[in-house]
Amino acid sequence: MSTHPAMNNVTSDAPASETTASGQRDNMAWLLRHFTSETPGVTHAVLLSRDGLRLLDSDVDKDWADELSAALSGVASLATNITGPSHKKRPAKQVIIERDDCLFFVQSAGCSAAFEGHPGNERGEVDTILAVIATTDADAGTVGFEMGRLVQKFAPYMQIPVRVGTGAEVR
């Protein structure tokens, strides 16, 4: 059993002390680092905004993480704008790029209110993408499955709960 409450189950609730935007980001960063260390073959992970800015990473070199964020948001955008057999554009559930030196996985991670200072956050949320880098011998099915689980674990931390006042204050 993990020592971090967010890892005990997929739908764990954030403790009351962790409901600030900073606390939410800290929890998500911990989950990202844990995912990277515990998922076989995964070497790096970055949570990025759909517009290509790095939000969180698993202790990746910041310049490289920024470069990856910009490039992989472009990959996600291209995949979303491909018309499929239904003649409609549909969001891609996952994109996998296979190279000689690694595998790249790109998956939507939902909208988050935990990045209030992020450019493009006019509506109070940032659309996010999870990007993962793995070794060439990593099991793509396992990595993709674990990415989906990680996105589910992010869910409680993606929205900042409204603060509730006490007494005669408005709730």
Alpha carbons within 13 A on the beta-carbon side of 25: 18
Q: Which amino acid is at 58?
A: S
Neighbouring C-beta atoms of residue 58, cutoff 10 Å: 21
Given a cut of 50, whether residue 11 has pLDDT beyond it is no
- Give me 78's structure tokens: 């291209």
Tens digit of each residue's pLDDT (9 = 90 or more) over 33-75 = 999 999 999 999 999 998 899 999 999 999 999 999 999 999 9
Which pLDDT score, from 0 to 100, does residue 157 have? 80
Q: Is 147 helix (H, G, I), strand (E, B) or coil?
A: helix
If you search the block for the tokens 């940032």, which residue do you land on?
126
Short-list 12, 3, 55, 63, CA closest to 34:
3
Domain 40-81+90-159 part of CATH 3.40.50.720: no
Domain boundaries, the chain: 40-81+90-159
Percentage of residues in the chain having pLDDT higher than 90: 50
> Which region among 71-75, 83-87, 164-168 has the lowest average model confidence (pLDDT)?
164-168
Which pLDDT score, from 0 to 100, does residue 122 have? 56
Neighbouring C-beta atoms of residue 168, cutoff 10 Å: 5
pTM of the complete model: 0.78
Any residues with CB less than 8 A from the CB of 20 and at least 6 apart, and which? 160
